[in-house]
Amino acid sequence: MCKKLIEARLDPCIKAVVIRIDSPGGSAVASDTIYREVLRLKEAGKPVIVSMGNVAASGGYYISAPATKIVAQPSTVTGSIGVVFGKFNIAETLRQQGINPCTIAEGKNADAQFPFSDWTPEQERLVNSLVDHIYAGFIRKVKALLSSLALFSHAFPAKRQCAGMSEAQVRKIAKGRVWNGKDALAHGLVDCLGGLQDAIALAKTEAGLPLEVSKLQK
């Protein structure tokens, strides 16, 4: 996806981009990488419109945040602004099968993610610190999105009411909670309700392009 976003940014023939997202999320690193490319595309002066499908939650919302506008369907599941991190401890299961795991690690936390033991108190503290850091970054990105709403047109009054939302207020609508498209609009997490064609029309309007559609056969 990042490759396509870079190509769109560098191609002078592309005036606007519509990103269709249908994802429950995934890796924090992957989400942040895509987020940065979406942001760079928008900063290059090309409107970026996100069209949310069935689900655009957690990492799916993370990569939507820097878009020029976000269009969700009424039944879209979005939000889930939160972070999950964990591991399995399969040591006992292996022992029941006659397999005894043995680990040699250089460094007291080198084996923190090995699935053969629980976290030590120190490892758990480090993991919590990591999760808190990622979550705080997610919150800041959503806050930046909502803070930019004062620049949006009168066509999106629900979002304008959320402009300037404090970090504490953002945290109230975060906490990993999911919202349908209608509620997400009320909370200012999306710009408007509609489908893919609505997003395409919005992209043309933002780019100052004619609304007529021409299809080219390859």
The catalytic site residues sit at: 58
Q: Alpha-carbon distance 112 to 218, whole Å?
A: 52
For 81, which DSSP code?
-
Q: Alpha-carbon distance 173 to 25, whole Å?
A: 18
Burial class (CB in 10 A: 0-12, 13-18, 19+), 214: exposed
> Do 101 and 48 touch, CB atoms closer than 8 A?
no
Secondary structure E strands in 1-111: 17-23, 48-57, 69-72, 77-79
88-101 per-residue burial string, b: 16 or more CB within 10 A, e: under 16? eeebeeeeeeeeee
As a residue count, the chain comes to 218
3-state secondary structure of 57: strand
